[in-house]
């Protein structure tokens, strides 16, 4: 199972939110570039990055930071946050990210998602961020009227290469991921699925590996790392355990 340490960027700094609430933010001293180097030094190969400024503005606000990380470290990066046009997708691909995550723009306009998959094959990931079964958009500030599974059924054959499923109610809460909801998504998804939101301990990683669903590719770990609830030495061992 792939493990994706997370870096959320706001104003050029590493932060973590609780349930996507920008008013409930913890800011960390370490820079995004230094945090990426730390993950690299520990032996991680994948990295999940969210540009929170991008999520609010719809612009590639952290492109230069992403470029630094890609240029300096041999990490496979998936990047999301405010990517709402083909130009932004191309900018990130040009600096060398592995996958670009489309969320709000894909939910609001299914044709944009379909065209992006055609223009950038094997480079598009779909981010489904759900609260109480319904998808949220615009940095989780707006609820859509789309049921998660209904929307997925409509776009399932568009050709995206990865799906990141986040339960917003769990995100940043360290109460454990929504394994049941993730399995429901993985059971119908036409691509590998990543678990996101709520990881609280190494036991959550071990439980994810026992689910037995071959369509679940990996898991994202964020706040539990920054707060010291998960030891990085122990976490990296779970990649090949």
Catalytic residues: 8, 129
For residues 25 and 36, what is the distance between their CA atoms, to the nearest angstrom? 20
Distance CA 160, CA 183 (A): 18
Q: 34 is written with which tokens?
A: 């230094």
Task: For strands 76-80 and 99-102, give the pairing.
Answer: parallel
Concatenating the DSSP letter of every residue in the chain gives -EEEEEEEEETTEEEEEETTEEEEEEE-SS-HHHHHHHHHHHT--EEEEEEHHHHHHSS-TTHHHHHHHHHHS--EEEEESS--SHHHHHHHHHTT-SEEEE-HHHHH-HHHHHHHHHHSTT-EEEEEEEETTEEEETTTTEEEEEEHHHHHHHHTTS--SEEEEEETTTTTT-S---HHHHHHHHHH-SS-EEEES---SHHHHHHHHTS--TTEEEEEE-HHHHTTSS-HHHHHHTTT-
Nearest to 194 by CA among 213, 174, 175, 210: 213
């Amino acid at each position: 199972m792939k493990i994706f340490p997370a870096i959320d960027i706001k104003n050029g700094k590493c932060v973590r939110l609780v349930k996507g609430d920008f008013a409930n933010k913890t800011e960390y001293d370490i820079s995004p570039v230094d945090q990426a180097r730390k993950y690299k030094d520990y032996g991680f190969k994948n990295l999940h990055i969210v540009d929170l400024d991008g999520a609010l503005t719809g612009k590639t606000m952290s492109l230069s930071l992403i470029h630094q990380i890609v240029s300096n470290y041999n990490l496979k990066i998936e990047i999301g946050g405010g990517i709402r046009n083909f130009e932004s997708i191309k900018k990130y691909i040009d600096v060398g990210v592995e996958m670009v995550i489309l969320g709000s723009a894909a939910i609001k306009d299914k044709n944009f998602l379909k065209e992006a998959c055609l223009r950038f094959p094997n480079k598009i990931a779909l981010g489904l961020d759900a609260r109480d079964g319904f998808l949220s958009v615009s940095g989780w500030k707006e609820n859509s009227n789309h049921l998660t599974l209904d929307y997925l059924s409509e776009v399932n054959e568009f050709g995206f290469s990865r799906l990141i499923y986040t339960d917003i109610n769990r995100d940043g809460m360290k109460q454990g991921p929504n394994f049941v909801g993730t399995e429901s998504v993985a059971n119908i998804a036409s691509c590998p699925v990543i678990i996101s939101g709520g990881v609280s301990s190494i036991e959550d990683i071990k439980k994810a590996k026992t689910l037995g669903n071959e369509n679940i590719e990996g898991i994202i770990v964020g706040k539990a790392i920054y707060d010291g609830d998960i030891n990085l030495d122990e976490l990296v061992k779970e990649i090949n355990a």
